Structure 1
């Protein structure tokens, strides 16, 4: 599925709520579909994906023992109160109010941090959470073909992500991208259907690391080479 620029901007604004789990079912489905074809959103999602863990620390930091919630003079008063249920109830209420105020303060601070990350386009998010992955860029072409494919190889923990920007591709044909290792082994890394405009942005994946990939080939399902690049 392809989106125009306005659709992209509208869906891109859902990124923050998507990470924090705040989307409705319909918006979640729409953004998930958009994410499959949008390299920019995929990269930004990778940069801020650790934010929920950061926010989860709010609850951890606010769960302190009851004794620590009481000021020294309040704790002493509790000891003097002894068996007085009314005095103890008052002390417990005071401690609960203090906990709520502290939890609200932490939550507000965390929410402000989240707004800062997403509102600034994750300007400081990569440095705070995860460094941006380094991509190796290649341009794939082939003799007798007008097609041109830009390929970014991004190393991941599970292998390599391939971000492809394709121009002048066969319309309506199934297209497959292969990676070839040092032993000549050809492994499919993704497939898609050529669009009417001949342009598409797609994401593929392979278990090979970037340094294990010797070439990239884009072919039709019938095996005709559309574009190729040596790495």
Structure 2
């Protein structure tokens, strides 16, 4: 197994948010330069939203077993403690069964979504990827933000694929593009995650050759990082 293959296996956990901090950081670094993983991420990035439509059972009583019987003859005393423990264990088993059922349904939807994406998008994977250029932003003074950005040329302008780490937590973050005249426009925004990591896709009507810099700022205007093109 090559190093790329090993990191590629992390893609599913990355999309579903199941990676450890170390694996997340390692895959984020890999994603900045790997166009193959970037394309596959774009194909399945909507999977978590699809899974959000998988409802948990609306009638959990259907899956619940009958309550454990109490001591015969309604006796109480030493046996009641054992009965209480049995009730707790029975409830734990019921919850595990319900959770396994829900996870199985979610896994089925995930498999169907990935398969469907492969059937629908498969022919497109044979086409050459659109032209793109990768840039690494420089953190502003006092900022520890790390930002890698790919400018992907599209017929309508430029797609911006950003991989960010060490970003402010819980703050609105905005990416701006600046042209040769100094005119700037917002190309996307997001809310800082608890881990400080985020992969974001932005868009601008400017062509890649018209962009002179990309700035990542807080909503209050503080510059976190700048990439010069």
Q: Scaled by the length of structure 2, what TM-score is found?
A: 0.49
Relative to the length of structure 1, the TM-score reads 0.49
Larger Rg belongs to: 1
